[in-house]
Amino acid sequence: MKFKLLLLSAFIFISCKKETKTEITTTPTKAKDHVQTTEKKETQNSSDTIVISTKHKTNKIVCDLDGDGKNEKVEIVRSTKSDKSGLRIIFGNGNRTDYFGMGNTILYQGFEEIDWAGIFEKAPKGEVVWNNVNDQGEILGDDEIKEEDKIKLPNDGIFIHAEESCGGGIIYLKDGKYEWIQQE
């Protein structure tokens, strides 16, 4: 009888255990020049919910980042756990979702959220763009940019920019890796 009671208690304990959900997220890593996929475990009682940002006038765009002819949905989102904003990129083929920010450094740029972004729009494929800030942080004029440093976007990109301070950049995919172009 004690054995049956112990077995029943163990069964109840196991069945009352918190359910967990595994969400695959991607975050940039310093060691590698790409987005690394990591797993984040969530429990019903302490989950990190990702919600669309209400701080941004425009918080959703569509663009073809990977050039497969299917539009990705790019959203400015907020983590309820860290209360920091970032980007969620849902690929058009439905096989991949990438996250940037929300407390993790975005492409080694020294920021981990994008609350500052007042402009959020598609940078069209074929647009010629360039970094206009040198290694010392000085803003370069268009005439100071070498022709070989200019980049013709291979596919659509994501343009994020601060309206008042005129800083920001373009995120785009190059050979399957995310790249950042600084635009002041």
Q: What is the pLDDT of residues 144-162, one digit of tens each?
A: 888 998 999 999 999 999 8
pTM for this predicted structure = 0.71
Every domain of the chain and the residues it spans = 22-183
Q: Is the pLDDT of residue 172 over 70?
A: yes
Residue 72 and residue 66 in contact, taking contact as beta carbons nearer than 8 Å: yes
Residue 86 and residue 99 in contact, taking contact as beta carbons nearer than 8 Å: yes
Q: What is the pLDDT of residues 54-109, one digit of tens each?
A: 887 788 999 999 999 999 999 999 999 999 999 999 999 988 999 999 888 888 78
DSSP-assigned letters across all residues of 8-53: HHHHHHHHTSPPEEEEEEEEE-SSSSSEEEEEEEEESSS---EEE-
Report the alpha-carbon distance of residue 1 to residue 91 in Å, rounded.
57
